[in-house]
Amino acid sequence: MTGARWPVRGAWLLTGLLTLAAAGAGLSFPEIYGRVVPAELLPGAISQDLMSVVAGAALTVLAFAARPGRPKLQLAALGILGYLFYAYGIYSIERAYNSFYLAYLAVFALSFWGLVYGTLAFRAEQPERARLPKWVRILSGSGSLLQPLIFYPLWIAMLLPLMRSHEQIDSLYSVFILDLCFIMPAFLILAVSTFQGHWPGLVFTPALFLLGFTLIFSLALGELFKPSFNLPVSPVSLWSSLGLSTLFLVLGAVHLWKLDLGAARPAAPGNFQTRHAGAVGGRDR
């Protein structure tokens, strides 16, 4: 295995450090959200910053730890980048124009391009060799379908009245954009790919489960922070978020544990075509 090279890991390091700075500032000085985040959403901003500090620290560590021979650490990094793309996509799209807004834009952009380049770079790991037991494929594929089945109907049902009334809401419209255009399609595509036993689903689904865990666990933390802001806790939201985030954590851990990425065999010079044909030919065995 080639492992993530330093141009890729250097981008992880920069993303992680910027995240630590931006999220750490939000935790240390929550007043920076005073005029850009509605009061009822402040617990969510604090919980997101807390999760982002953990994510930024983890990504910084992975920038050094994902050495050759550790491709599963690359998948963990992709999951964290997916979370940061979503979290800082919210701040960017919702126009959180405080003193750290440029840092939010930087993390949003770096995490997106880190996902694109990191996914392409993973081709060097010969992912066509990936193997996963059938029962894990069925379990992971079913778990991946859960998000679209829940949130496509829920968000569309919330959008239809706004479309009829031509109303423009002032906050959380970013969630509709990010979920309906990016996150739900990703879950749906990888679910189908996993059921079919194709390598994109087998390889990248754990990263998507990690993204789902971090996003939804952040919602649970937000409920726990509400009493500090004199807001009532919603037991339904708290326990459903805890349950769904735990499910994604377990699914991701089992999938990653059982995932066999194979061993890359060095090819003789000029023999790439034979090697590639052999990898593809053994994909579905």
Could you tell me which of 109, 257, 255 has the C-alpha nearest to residue 190?
Answer: 255
Q: Identify the sign of the CA torsion 149, 154, 155, 161.
A: positive
pLDDT tens digits for range 1-53: 345 677 788 899 999 999 999 999 999 999 999 889 999 999 999 999 999 99
**pLDDT of the residue at 4:** 61
pLDDT tens digits for range 229-264: 999 999 999 999 999 999 999 999 999 999 998 754
From CA 105, how far away is CA 93, in angstroms rounded?
9
Mean pLDDT, residues 126-153 = 93
Q: How many of the other CB atoms lie within 10 Å of CB of 265?
A: 10
Residue with tokens 């919210």: 90
Could you tell me how far CA 232 lies from the centroid of its own chain?
29
**pLDDT of the residue at 170:** 86
> Is 266 a residue whose pLDDT tops 50?
no
Cβ(78)–Cβ(204) below 8 Å: yes
Q: How confident is the model at residue 225 (pLDDT cuts 50, 70, 90)?
A: very high
**pLDDT of the residue at 111:** 97
User: CA end-to-end span of the chain, whole Å?
Assistant: 21
Could you tell me which of 245, 279, 247 has the C-alpha nearest to residue 264?
Answer: 279
From CA 208, how far away is CA 257, in angstroms rounded?
15
Cβ(259)–Cβ(129) below 8 Å: no
**pLDDT of the residue at 68:** 65
